């Protein structure tokens, strides 16, 4: 089981391929993006992730990992392709289907096919299984399918892939057991075997739990702004209770996981998922809430706003589903001029002109902090005072520590409407 083909070399696929290669497996990484394949074969990594550069260079150099645009025969195929949503919030399974079909010509008896991509409930039974069954493959005795979702935190991917508990959901019991054997080569955490459907729902519920709890914190922020309650004090004190874990309010929920996964459940059971749907609506409503607060702080039309942070969360370069984009769009619709600064984002990955800190702050009426990068936790206050006539900081992530009395600092806990 040590000849692997990993399809999809993104945030999850590349670390996964590299860790199996480091364990001594012979791994072929496959991606449709030729630039990714080319740079990888030179040992270069396009993704910013702690420790990944060095690991990839090592295993490429040792010949345990190579990259190609073409699938080749292997003992184990791991599918780690994106599963985004369509405009109508239904799951886009095109990449999972294309990857499964790319494996078909190379599949052999005894092979294990693992889908790591996050997928709606019943996808293994109703979509992936039939792709192989319809070509005459017996899923009980000839080939073995499993869904093994990842649960790593971007920024800590390598260590979490190794140490987190791994759920292995088999198309049947034999498939779960064979997939578990594959992961034992890399995973030091517990490996729990279950059914594919249970694994699909488990993964989705992990992120839906978070989305609903973030929505609760965001709703508290709105209520607090209306009643003059200090949101952060309430959360901090309520969490003193041993069994309470109120999450943090923010500008909205970004990323290709928390903001997406609840829709995979809602799609399959719309009449029973009211709370999940309302939570999504609340989190999707936060950009407008943020813009309404900016309008209260800076009522002058045509004013300049410096947006600090485009990524969906701190200290990474990922901007997928980031609430910063709807916030900027809404502010521009209200007639504000926007400067954008984010030290983690490359200019060629976004359409906005990215400015350095001073250029972004120059003559701005308000600094709007949307991401909790470490660089934003201690801002250069002298520059702010010098570059802004009436310095206001609105920190939607409650991550900035301001010392100067001259700078007006706002978070949700002091935006009383009264």
Reduce the secondary structure of 231-247 to three states and give it as a string: HHHHHHHHCCCCCCCCC
CB of 325 to ligand SAJ, least distance (A): 12
Report angle CA 20, 23, 25 to the nearest 5 degrees.
Answer: 60
- Name the DSSP class of 412: G
197-226: contacts with ligand SAJ (CB under 6 A): 206-207, 210, 214
CB of 246 to ligand SAJ, least distance (A): 9
- Name the DSSP class of 124: I
Q: From the list 248, 285, 315, 334, which residue makes contact with ligand SAJ (rule: CB under 6 A)? A: 248
Q: Near ligand SAJ by CB under 6 A, which window of 60-68, 90-98, 127-135, 146-154?
A: 146-154
Rank residues 121 and 154 by Cβ distance to ligand SAJ and give the closer one.
154
Joined together, the tokens standing for residue 335 give 């007639």
Sheet holding 337-341, edge to edge: 337-341, 304-308, 366-369, 392-395, 408-410
Q: Does 120 bind ligand SAJ (CB under 6 A)?
A: no
Q: From the list 84, 108, 153, 374, which residue makes contact with ligand SAJ (rule: CB under 6 A)? A: 153
- Kind plus residue range of the DSSP H or E element containing 146: strand 144-147
Is residue 358 part of the annotated active site? The answer reads no
CB of 412 to ligand SAJ, least distance (A): 11
CA-wise closest residue to 117 among 88, 131, 97, 135: 97
Is residue 203 part of the annotated active site? The answer reads yes
CA distances from 206 to 77, 228, 311 (A): 25, 32, 22
CB of 111 to ligand SAJ, least distance (A): 26
Q: Does 253 bind ligand SAJ (CB under 6 A)?
A: yes
Rank residues 298 and 310 by Cβ distance to ligand SAJ and give the closer one.
310
3-state secondary structure (DSSP) of residue 182: helix
Considering 25, 148, 203, 268, which one is annotated as catalytic? Answer: 203
List of residues contacting ligand SAJ (CB under 6 A)? 150-154, 206-207, 210, 214, 247-248, 250, 253-255, 257-258, 312-313
Would you name the residues annotated as active-site residues? Answer: 203, 257
């Amino acid at each position: 089981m040590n000849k692997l083909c990993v399809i999809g070399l993104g945030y999850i696929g590349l670390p996964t391929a590299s860790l199996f290669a480091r364990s001594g497996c012979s791994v072929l990484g496959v991606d449709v993006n030729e630039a990714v394949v080319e740079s990888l074969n030179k040992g270069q990594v396009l993704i910013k992730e702690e420790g990944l550069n060095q690991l990839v260079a090592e295993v490429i150099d040792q010949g345990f990992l190579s990259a190609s645009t073409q699938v080749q025969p292997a003992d184990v195929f791991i599918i780690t392709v994106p599963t985004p949503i369509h405009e109508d919030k239904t799951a886009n399974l095109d990449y999972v289907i294309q990857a499964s079909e790319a494996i078909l010509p190379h599949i052999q008896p005894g092979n294990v096919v693992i889908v790591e991509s996050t997928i709606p409930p019943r996808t293994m039974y109703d979509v992936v299984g039939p792709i192989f069954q319809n070509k005459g493959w017996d899923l009980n005795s000839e080939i073995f399918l499993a869904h093994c979702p990842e649960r790593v935190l971007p920024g800590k991917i390598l260590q979490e892939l190794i140490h987190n508990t791994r759920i292995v959901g088999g198309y049947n019991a034999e498939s779960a057991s064979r997939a578990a054997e594959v992961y034992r080569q890399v995973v030091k955490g517990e490996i729990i075997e279950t059914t594919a459907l249970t694994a699909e729902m488990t993964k989705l519920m992990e992120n839906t739990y978070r989305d609903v709890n973030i929505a609760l914190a965001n709703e508290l922020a709105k209520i607090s702004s209306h009643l003059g309650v200090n949101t952060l004090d309430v959360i901090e004190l309520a969490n003193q209770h041993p069994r309470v874990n109120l999450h943090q309010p923010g500008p909205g929920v970004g990323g290709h996981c928390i903001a997406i996964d609840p829709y995979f459940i809602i799609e399959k059971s719309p009449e029973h998922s009211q709370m999940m749907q309302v939570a999504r609506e609340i989190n999707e409503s936060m950009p407008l809430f943020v813009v309404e607060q900016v309008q209260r702080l800076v009522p002058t039309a045509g004013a300049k706003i410096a947006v600090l942070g485009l990524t969906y969360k701190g200290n990474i370069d990922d901007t997928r589903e980031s609430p910063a984009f709807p916030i900027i769009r809404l502010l521009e619709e209200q007639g504000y001029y926007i400067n954008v600064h984010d030290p983690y984002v490359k200019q060629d990955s976004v359409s906005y002109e990215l400015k350095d800190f001073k250029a972004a702050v120059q003559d701005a009426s308000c600094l709007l902090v949307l991401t909790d990068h470490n660089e934003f936790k201690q801002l250069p206050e002298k520059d702010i005072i010098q570059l802004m006539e009436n310095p206001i900081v609105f920190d939607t992530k409650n991550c900035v520590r301001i010392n100067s009395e001259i700078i007006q600092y706002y978070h949700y806990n002091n935006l009383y409407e009264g």
